[in-house]
Amino acid sequence: MKLSILVPVYNEAATIEQVVQRVRTVPLQVEIIAIDDASSDGSGAVLERLHQSRQIDHLERHPVNRGKGAAIRAGIARATGDVIVIQDADLEYDPADLPGLMKPILDGKADAVFGSRFQGGPHRVLYFWHSVGNRVLTLLSNMFTNLNLTDMETCYKLVRKDLMTRLPLTANRFGFEVEITARLAQAGARIWEQPISYSGRTYAEGKKITWRDGFAALFHILRYNLFPPAGDWRPR
């Protein structure tokens, strides 16, 4: 079973090559699809070199910055694997966790698997209020989806490709995490959750999420849960 790993990139020249190298050590059949979201720091040149050396299988480029969600949709359109996952380009998530996250799907028990940063895996100790904010957003999301997730905002969400390509995803920026969680719940997908390691960054190291994104997530939780589009995209 092949895993398509989507890597949205915006100004991550300092870390993207190491991320790709880590992904290439994963003992799985993987396809790496990188999406350069109009980076201005030299990330594009690094990605082009990695593509030319075939460390990256497919490289998409956005002429203007469209946001993480738009980059992910572009990657989904290129994916040829059986399962799709997003890999941030900033070294916060460890690709070594991916084989374990694949297992419930390989065993036929799950349509999607969330890697939780709050289930006891090793993690770097950082911001208290970020942790509180993530837990509050997860709680509010769970109230609408009737799921008992511990980490709705996690980057590591593995989804069967046949299901992922049917989900009506429209979010362009960080609302993607809320939207895909709502759509999976609305589809009645079988969702599993497993602990992962997490090495969060400081703002000095390039972390981009701010309190403004947290407030925007509140709006997205209401929007994507209360007003789902028409249609049947349940797993088959």
Using CA atoms, how far apart are residues 91 and 86, in angstroms rounded to an integer?
Answer: 13
What the block records as the tokens of 85 is 């996952």
Note the pTM of the prediction, 2 decimals.
Answer: 0.91
For residue 32, what are the CA distances in angstroms to 24, 70, 138, 147? 9, 17, 29, 30
Answer yes or no: is 232 within a domain: no
Answer yes or no: is 164 within a domain: yes
Identify the DSSP state of 6: E
Answer yes or no: is 231 within a domain: no
Query: Per-residue pLDDT averaged across 26-44, rounded?
Result: 97
More confident call, 179 vs 213: 179
Confidence of residue 74 (pLDDT cuts 50, 70, 90): very high
Answer yes or no: is 142 within a domain: yes
Answer yes or no: is 234 within a domain: no
Using CA atoms, how far apart are residues 114 and 157, in angstroms rounded to an integer?
Answer: 5
Nearest alpha carbon to residue 84 among 189, 158, 167, 190: 158
For residue 199, the SS3 value is coil
Residue 86 has pLDDT above 70, yes or no: yes
**Region of residue 190 (left: phi > 0; alpha: psi -120 to 50; beta: else):** beta
Nearest alpha carbon to residue 160 among 227, 211, 236: 236
Residue 203 has pLDDT above 50, yes or no: no
Nearest alpha carbon to residue 81 among 152, 30, 15: 30
Polymer length in residues for the chain: 236
pLDDT digits (tens, 9 = 90+) for 145-180: 999 999 999 999 999 999 999 999 999 887 999 999
Confidence of residue 205 (pLDDT cuts 50, 70, 90): very low
Confidence of residue 195 (pLDDT cuts 50, 70, 90): very high
Q: Residue 31: is it exposed, middle or buried by C-beta count within 10 angstroms (0-12/13-18/19+)?
A: middle
pLDDT digits (tens, 9 = 90+) for 111-130: 999 999 998 766 655 567 67
Q: How many domains does the chain fold into?
A: 1
Residue 204 has pLDDT above 60, yes or no: no
Answer yes or no: is 235 within a domain: no
Answer yes or no: is 181 within a domain: yes
Residue 206 has pLDDT above 50, yes or no: no
Quickly tell me which residue has 């960080």 as its tokens: 174
Query: Per-residue pLDDT averaged across 220-230, rounded?
Result: 90
Domain extent, residue 7, equals: 2-226
Helix (H) or strand (E) holding 155: none
User: What is the predicted pLDDT for the residue at 123?
Assistant: 64
Answer yes or no: is 130 within a domain: yes
Query: Per-residue pLDDT averaged across 41-55, rounded?
Result: 97
What the block records as the tokens of 40 is 């201005």
Please give the span between the terminal C-alpha atoms of the chain, in angstroms, as a whole number. 18
For residue 150, the SS3 value is coil
CATH, residue 111? 3.90.550.10
